[in-house]
């Protein structure tokens, strides 16, 4: 009996010791993790930035949102700390916000990748994966480098040149729409009007697909789906709990997001399949490299025929991802840029008059108002007005990178793995960089003023290895449409409509922009 009692005591002693060791082990790990995090957090607390810290939001709750309040907050933050500051996007995710060209240069010249999340949290870019997959915008490393090499020929001038005709024809429909509201004496909502024209152009350039989206309007289900996906992406980025994928999937926003992704994928796949069949039917010309002589090549045609150094083509999924990326990147950005340029010209009519004089003199003696390829270099004032709008209403208000090595910003060594936001809107309004940053002064982009500029002071298309591949495509489109609209109409603001800025993934207006057009007598 005595022996049994001793055995039982020993077993129970062993159990208690094991449990105690486990508890101590767990406690030790927790204490170590807390110590580690506190040391890590100290690096960021020592950086310039808000001192208030919320256990769930970090400093996210201080940001009023993508509205006029948010712009005021950003401006204030940048004016107090004009080089960089630290922000907590949730309790554990510090982000370094860069405002000054000296520091932005360090990031954009590096090969720092697009951020990836840690643990259960996904990064802002990864939130787009369900829709755009590992396309050029989101991918990193060797995958990105291969895609960039394969896609670069699609933006060669020989490919872009025939698109001028597509852009002019789509522009005709836009001009007629504006004409109709002018005749009725009504204002027109700029974002919705121009977005359909730009979408029309993109569908033709990306897929050789002639849609009637400009006539059907925003009720076109594909247009609706793309607009909604952009909106849901932005909503998700501002809600920390939705940064966890499996929680996001359970929310109504998440379910809607995946439903819409399936829908847009099915449309892109159909359009790609049509082009595959077309290329198949013209196999001989494709093989001889003569197809572009007879047909305007679309972006997807280039992808379907592209081969890497090893002779491998792109997979159907890679092609779909790139086509969806092209649509996303090419549609929302140019819509914002064109809308804010037209708004600026209506708001500051002295510049509109100078654009009109420039275009009138370019088109004098011609029997068409089409803008031609060679005209793009003959519109310096129009170009300066577009650039000043790209600055004042920075189309892409911020981009992000992730540090792959410890990096020093003004004496603060920031650890590898940290997310860095390059605050393009703040950079473009930094009073230590720009004179009268909130005024619209196109002259900044003319003559000597342009030559004096720091190359990293004005970067609406980003810069360095991951700059915008569609920059020329976009600038042609903007010059052509601004020139033709200003040639045909005079624009003024609708006095009954308040324009409220909304810096989302692209720079939007909360209730849109309404302008009144009146035909010019020529
Ligand atoms: C005014 C119009 C546009 C602006 C302001 C703009 C701006 C930008 C910016 C800032 C980036 C860098 C994004 C980042 O680092 O996360 C970018 C990348 C990109 N843009 Fe644009 N963009 C415009 C139009 C276009 C168009 C028309 C296309 C395609 C037709 C396009 C395709 C892309 C692609 C594919 C990337 C990713 C490039 C890479 O990572 O290698 N963009 N754009």
**SS3 sequence of 481-509:** HHHHHHHHEEEEECCCCCCCEEECCCEEE
337 lines ligand 1 (CB under 6 A): yes
Q: Write phi, then psi, for 24 (nearest 5 degrees).
A: -60, -45
Nearest Cα residue to atom 41 of ligand 1 = 466
Q: Say how far apart CA 367 and CA 130 lie, in whole Å.
A: 48
Sequential pLDDT tens for the chain (522 residues): 555 567 888 888 889 999 999 999 999 999 998 888 888 889 999 999 988 888 888 888 899 988 999 999 999 999 999 999 999 987 888 999 999 999 999 999 998 999 998 888 899 999 999 999 999 999 999 999 999 999 998 899 988 999 999 999 999 999 999 999 999 999 999 999 999 999 999 999 998 888 878 887 767 788 889 889 988 998 898 888 899 999 999 999 999 999 999 999 999 999 999 999 999 998 888 777 777 777 888 999 999 998 888 888 999 999 999 999 998 888 889 999 999 999 999 999 999 999 999 999 999 999 999 999 999 999 999 999 999 999 999 999 999 999 999 999 999 999 999 999 999 999 999 999 999 999 999 999 999 999 999 999 999 999 999 999 999 999 999 999 999 999 999 999 999 999 999 998 899 999 999 999 999 976
Cβ atoms of 399 and 466 within 8 Å: the answer is: no
pLDDT of residue 3: 55
State phi, psi for 346 to the nearest 5 degrees. Answer: -75, -35
Ligand 1: atom nearest CA of 331 is 27
- Measured in degrees and rounded to the nearest 5, phi and psi for residue 492 equal -140, 160
**CA Rg, the chain, in Å?**
27
Cβ(137) – ligand 1 distance below 6 Å? yes
- Confidence at residue 522, expressed as pLDDT on a 0 to 100 scale: 63
SS3 414: strand
38 Cα–ligand 1 center, Å: 38
Q: Cβ(399) to ligand 1 under 6 A?
A: yes
Q: Which atom of ligand 1 is nearest to the CA of 337?
A: 1
Q: Are 99 and 426 in contact (CB under 8 A)?
A: yes
86 beta partners? 49, 96
Tell me if 324 CB under 6 Å of ligand 1: no
469 lines ligand 1 (CB under 6 A): yes
Cα dihedral 135, 506, 429, 376 in deg (nearest 10): 80
Alpha carbon of 110 to ligand 1 centroid (Å)? 18
Choosing from 200, 333, 428 the residue with most ligand 1 atoms within 8 A of its CB, the one to mutate for a pocket test is 333
Measured at the CA of 74, the angle between CA 110 and CA 505, to 5 degrees, comes to: 65
Q: What is the ipTM of this complex?
A: 0.99
Atom in ligand 1 nearest the alpha carbon of residue 144: 41
Query: Nearest CA to 213 among 300, 224, 205?
Result: 224
Cα of 235 from ligand 1 centre, angstroms:
21
As to burial, measured by CB atoms within 10 angstroms (0-12 exposed, 13-18 middle, 19+ buried), residue 276 is middle
322 lines ligand 1 (CB under 6 A): no
Residue 197 annotated in ligand binding: no
| Ligand 1 midpoint to CA 414 (Å) | 27
SS3 399: strand
Contact 486, 359 (CB under 8 A): yes
With CA atoms as reference, report the closest residue to 159 among 267, 318, 303, 283.
303
218 closest CA partner among 335, 62, 109 = 335
Pocket lining: 401 vs ligand 1, CB cutoff 6 Å? no
- SS3 call for 39: helix
**Residues 503, 504, 507, 509, CA torsion sign:** negative
Please state, as a whole number, how many other Cβ atoms lie within 10 Å of the Cβ of residue 106: 16
Tokens found for residue 451: 């030559």
Q: How far is the CA of 300 from the centre of ligand 1 (A)?
A: 17
Phi, psi of 273 (to 5 degrees): -60, -40
In whole angstroms, what is the distance from residue 39 CA to residue 484 CA? 58
Q: Is 143 in the pocket of ligand 1 (CB under 6 A)?
A: no
330 lines ligand 1 (CB under 6 A): yes
pLDDT at site 41: 87
HSE on the CB side for 155, CA within 13 Å?
Answer: 16
Q: How far is the CA of 460 from the centre of ligand 1 (A)?
A: 9
């Amino acid at each position: 009996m005595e022996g049994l009692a001793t055995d039982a005591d020993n077993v129970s002693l062993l159990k208690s010791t094991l449990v105690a060791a486990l508890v101590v082990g767990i406690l030790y790990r927790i204490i170590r993790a807390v110590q580690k995090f506190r040391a890590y957090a100290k690096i960021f607390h020592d950086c310039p930035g808000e001192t208030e810290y919320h256990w769930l939001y970090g400093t996210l709750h201080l940001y009023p949102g993508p509205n006029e309040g948010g712009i005021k907050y950003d401006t204030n933050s940048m004016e107090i700390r004009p080089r960089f500051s630290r922000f907590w996007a949730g309790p554990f995710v510090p982000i370094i916000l860069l405002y000054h060209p000296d520091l932005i240069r360090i990031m954009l010249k590096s090969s720092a990748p697009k951020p990836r999340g840690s643990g259960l949290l996904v990064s802002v870019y990864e939130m787009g994966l369900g829709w755009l997959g590992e396309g050029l915008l989101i991918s990193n490393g060797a995958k990105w480098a291969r895609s960039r090499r394969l896609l670069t020929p699609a933006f060669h001038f020989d490919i872009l040149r025939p698109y001028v005709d597509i852009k002019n024809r789509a522009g005709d429909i836009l001009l007629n729409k504006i004409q109709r509201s002018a005749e009725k004496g009504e204002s027109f909502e700029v974002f919705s009007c121009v977005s359909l024209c730009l979408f029309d152009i993109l569908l033709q350039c990306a897929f050789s697909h002639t849609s009637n989206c400009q006539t059907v309007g925003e009720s076109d289900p594909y247009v609706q789906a793309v607009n909604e996906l952009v909106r849901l992406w932005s909503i998700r980025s501002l809600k920390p709990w939705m940064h966890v994928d499996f929680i996001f999937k359970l929310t109504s926003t998440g379910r809607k997001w995946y439903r819409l992704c399936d829908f847009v994928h099915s449309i892109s796949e159909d359009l790609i399949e049509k082009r595959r069949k077309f290329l198949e039917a013209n196999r001989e010309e494709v093989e001889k490299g003569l197809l572009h002589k007879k047909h305007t090549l679309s972006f997807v045609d280039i992808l379907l025929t592209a081969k890497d150094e090893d002779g491998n083509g792109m997979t159907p999924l890679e092609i779909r991802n790139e086509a969806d990326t092209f649509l996303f990147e090419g549609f929302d950005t140019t819509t914002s840029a064109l809308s804010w340029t037209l708004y600026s010209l209506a708001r500051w009519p002295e510049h509109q008059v100078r654009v009109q004089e420039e275009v009138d003199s370019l088109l004098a003696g011609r029997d068409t108002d089409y803008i031609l390829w060679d005209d793009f270099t003959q519109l310096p004032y129009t170009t300066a007005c577009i650039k000043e709008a790209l600055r004042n209403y920075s189309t892409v208000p911020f981009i992000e990178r992730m540090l792959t090595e410890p990096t020093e910003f003004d004496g603060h060594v920031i650890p590898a793995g940290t997310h860095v936001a390059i605050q393009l809107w703040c950079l473009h309004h930094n009073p230590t960089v720009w004179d009268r940053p909130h005024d619209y002064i196109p002259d900044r982009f003319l003559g000597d003023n342009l030559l004096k500029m720091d190359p990293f002071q004005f970067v609406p298309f980003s810069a360095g290895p991951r700059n915008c591949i569609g920059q020329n495509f976009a600038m042609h489109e903007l010059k052509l449409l601004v020139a033709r609209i200003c040639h045909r109409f005079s624009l003024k603001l609708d006095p009954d409509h308040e324009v409220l800025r909304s810096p989302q993934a692209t720079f939007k207006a909360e209730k849109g922009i309404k302008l009144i057009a009146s035909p010019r007598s020529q």
